[in-house]
Amino acid sequence: MSDLNAFRNETRDWLEANCPESMRTPMSQGDVVWGGRKVEFKDPDQKLWMDRMGEKGWTCPTWPKEYGGGGLNFEENKVLQEELMRIKARPALNSFGIWMLGPALLEYGTEEQKMQHIPKIVKGEIRWCQGYSEPGSGSDLASLKTKAEDQGDEYLINGQKVWTSYADECDMIFTLVRTGPLEPKHEGISFLLIDMDQEGVTTKPIKLISGKSPFCETFFDNATAPKENLVGGLNKGWSVAKRLLQFERNMIAGMGFGSASSGSSKKSDAKPSSGLATMAKRYVGEKEDKLNDSGLRNKIIDHDMNSQAFALTLRRAAEESKKSNQGPSAASSIFKYYGTEHNKLRYEIMLEAMGTNALGWDGAEFGPEELAITREWLRTKANSIEGGTSEVQLNVISKRVLELPQ
């Protein structure tokens, strides 16, 4: 314990000395630092903060030191996160490399692959995107058609991916490709890393019902990748893919929950309050402290209770996995399913509370926050589709967790 206290003191001192003041202020969507070759910093402090944290490995605090990670154990990382939160530090670096590719490489990559790719993820030097889905493949990911042909030293890649987030801003893409056209569906797939800075790779943004989006279509037209970029072995990409999906689910569930809980989460001695109810009162009014719309009030109660119950469940899962010392399991489907459905419901409730004020598309007659909620409401509709639909999650739960016959 005294070790941990010492660690806390060191950490606090280091953060005090190294986290620029401007990186302790609230941030907007546009302030997120994703790193990569094409990064444009809005503020030199962003780069300073990313570089310093990357150097220490604290952008990926629990990853092994030999690959540039922080090498912290569970308890130490908890301390680090607490200390970061204490000074309200912004995340130094976000990336799909951190959330998804890195954890998968640590499990499935060769020593060379780890040495080559992970330090660059930690330091924010390379920005990754994900190339899984294809037009028409939908939930049936394994029906993918993008093919990688063996050309001796390298693979020749042809095909198309969709839903590749931020593809137009990324340096590298981790993809599922078909390398065994004659094998059974799941057994002819490989996991391949492809450099996007080549002529054979082009991207095109996708517009959503909510408007502009980070999603792109990505086209491979005689693109190439060296053979050492194959992860997990030839035609064995499906196992890597499934594992990576669990990391993704975990992340999406966490994000969905993040916004959903903001209302009813509660800190130590703070008086409990409800973000939804406070907002609803502003639009609907109140009477003796109670929201002036009993139907809406009951929906908010249900939602708040479930937010708290879900937050407790995420915490419990963390405590349990700390005990068993494992990464996300099939149970992550529960979080993905529940978190995204819960988040969708949250926005439906906001819409009900705000009435016509939540139905503007643009213009000065609506507040910027109102317009953002409208767009975000539409955006949430994709939550239960991306990263595996709710239906797929329920299939996974019934198959892997409940072990029901298939």
Partner 1 sequence: MSLVLNEEQSYLKDTARDFAKNKTPVSHFRGVRDSENPECFDREIWKEMANLGWSGILIPEEYGGSDFGVAGIGVIFEELGRTLTPSPMFSTAVVCASLIKEAGNEDQKKEYLTKIASGEMTLAFALEESSRHSPTNLETTAKKDGDSYIINGKKTFVLDGGFADFLIIAADTGKGTSLFIASKDAKGIDIKVTPMVDSRNAANISFKDLKLSSSNLIGEENGSDQIIEEVLDISRSVISAEMFGGIQEAFDVTLNYLKERDQFGTKIGSFQALQHRAAIMFSEIELCKSCVLESLTSFDEGSNDIPRLASLAKAKIGEVFHLVSNEAVQMHGGIGVTDEYDIGFYLKRARVAEQIFGNVQFHKDRYAELTGY
Site for its own copies, rule CB under 8 A? 294-295, 297-298
User: Which of 47, 180, 360, 376: binder of partner 1 (CB under 8 A)?
Assistant: 360
- Look at the alpha carbons of 312, 322, 98, 393 in this order and tell me if their dihedral is positive or negative: negative
Per the listing, tokens 């130490």 go with 76
Which residue's CB is nearer to partner 1, number 21 or number 319?
A: 319
Cα separation, 273 vs 280, whole angstroms:
13
Q: Which is nearer to partner 1, 255 or 385 (CB)?
A: 385
- Asked if 251 and 335 touch (Cβ cutoff 8 Å), the reply is no
Binding partner at 284 among partner 1, its own copies, none, C-beta below 5 to 8 Å by kind: partner 1
Instruction: Give the interface segment with partner 1, choosing from 40-48, 58-66, 100-108, 360-368 (CB under 8 A).
Output: 360-368
**Angstrom distance (rounded) from CA 59 to CA 28:** 19
From the list 5-13, 105-113, 139-147, 252-260, the region that binds partner 1 by CB under 8 A is 139-147
Which residues sit opposite 131 in a β-bridge? 175
Binding partner 1 by CB under 8 A: which of 81, 151, 262, 278? Answer: 278
Any contact of residue 372 with partner 1 (CB under 8 A)? no
Q: 67 or 377: whose CB is closer to partner 1?
A: 377
Give the N- to C-terminal CA distance of the chain in Å, as an integer: 48
Options 9, 305, 369, 372; binder of partner 1; rule CB under 8 A: 305
Selection from partner 1, its own copies, none that 28 binds (CB < 5 to 8 A by kind) is none
User: What is the per-residue binding string for partner 1 in 248-277, x denoting contact by CB under 8 A?
Assistant: ----------------x-x-xx-xxxx--x
Spatial neighbors of 17 by CB under 8 A, at least 6 apart, are none
Q: Which one, 156 or 301, has the nearer CB to its own copies?
A: 301
The answer to whether 79 and 11 are in contact (CB under 8 A) is: yes
Burial class (CB in 10 A: 0-12, 13-18, 19+), 58: buried
Check residue 308 for interaction with partner 1 (CB under 8 A): yes
Distance between CA 106 and CA 232 in Å, rounded? 11
Instruction: State how far the Cα of 390 lies from the Cα of 279, in Å rounded to an integer.
Output: 28
Q: Around Cβ 31, how many Cβ atoms within 10 Å?
A: 15
- For residues 125 and 117, the answer to whether their CB atoms sit within 8 Å is no
Residue 169: name the closest of 263, 94, 266, 272 by CA: 94
If one asks whether residue 406 binds partner 1 (CB under 8 A), the answer comes out as yes
CA–CA dist 140, 138 (Å, integer): 5
* Minimum CB–partner distance for residue 262 and partner 1 (Å): 14
Distance CA(335)–CA(312), nearest Å, equals: 12
Instruction: Pick from 283, 349, 350, 387 the residue near partner 1 by CB under 8 A.
Output: 283
| 8 in contact with partner 1 (CB under 8 A) | no
Q: Which of residues 206-225 bind partner 1 (CB under 8 A)?
A: 206-211
- Pick the binder of partner 1 from 319, 325, 326, 368 (CB under 8 A): 319
Residue nearer to its own copies on the CB measure, 33 or 277: 277
Which residue lies nearer to partner 1 by CB, 134 or 171? 134
| CA pair distance 22, 45, nearest whole angstrom | 7
Structural element, H or E, at residue 150: strand 147-150
Q: Is 286 in the site for partner 1 (CB under 8 A)?
A: yes
Token representation of residue 354: 């705000």
Is residue 138 close enough to count as binding partner 1 by CB under 8 A? yes
Number of residues in contact with partner 1 under rule CB under 8 A: 95
Instruction: Please report how close the Cβ of residue 80 comes to partner 1 at its closest, in angstroms.
Output: 22
CB of 208 to partner 1, least distance (A): 5
Shortest Cβ distance from residue 34 to its own copies (Å)? 43
| Nearest distance from C-beta of residue 350 to partner 1, angstroms | 11
Is 356 a binder of partner 1 (CB under 8 A)?
yes
Strands (E), 261-354: 286-287, 290-291
